[in-house]
Amino acid sequence: MEFRKAQVLKTGPGGGWWDIQFEDIKAGDIFRLFEQDGSPVTNIEGRAFYKALSDAFPLGDGKNYQVDATAIGPLSHLRRKV
């Protein structure tokens, strides 16, 4: 089975998008997902950034994980001012 690529946003020095295992997403993380072909996973409104409302947790099969999350708007407010 092929999985989506997950990245979490780290702020501060050395910040940016960091690859992460989906099951390591924690409540409060800002994250994004990519399909195997590299295209971003978006919601119906076209938003591709999410805020985790829970830690990732295993589903009944014990192999797949889920996270409660909400889609958020553009992240321009998180960019550092030059």
Determine the structural domain holding residue 15 and report its residue range.
5-73
Cβ atoms of 59 and 27 within 8 Å: the answer is no
82 part of a folded domain: no
Evaluate whether 40 touches 55 at the Cβ level (below 8 Å). no
Residue 22 gets which letter from DSSP? G
- Token pair 């797949």 is found at 64
Per the domain annotation, does 52 fall within a domain?
Answer: yes
pLDDT tens sequence for the chain (82 residues): 567 899 999 988 888 999 999 999 999 999 999 999 999 998 888 888 999 999 999 998 888 899 999 998 766 554 444 3
According to the model, what pLDDT value does residue 35 have? 93
Residue 81 lies in a domain: no
Assigned domain for 80 exists:
no
Nearest Cα neighbor of 31 from 57, 9, 10 is 9
Q: Which two tokens stand for residue 9?
A: 């946003």
Q: Determine, yes or no, domain membership for 79.
A: no
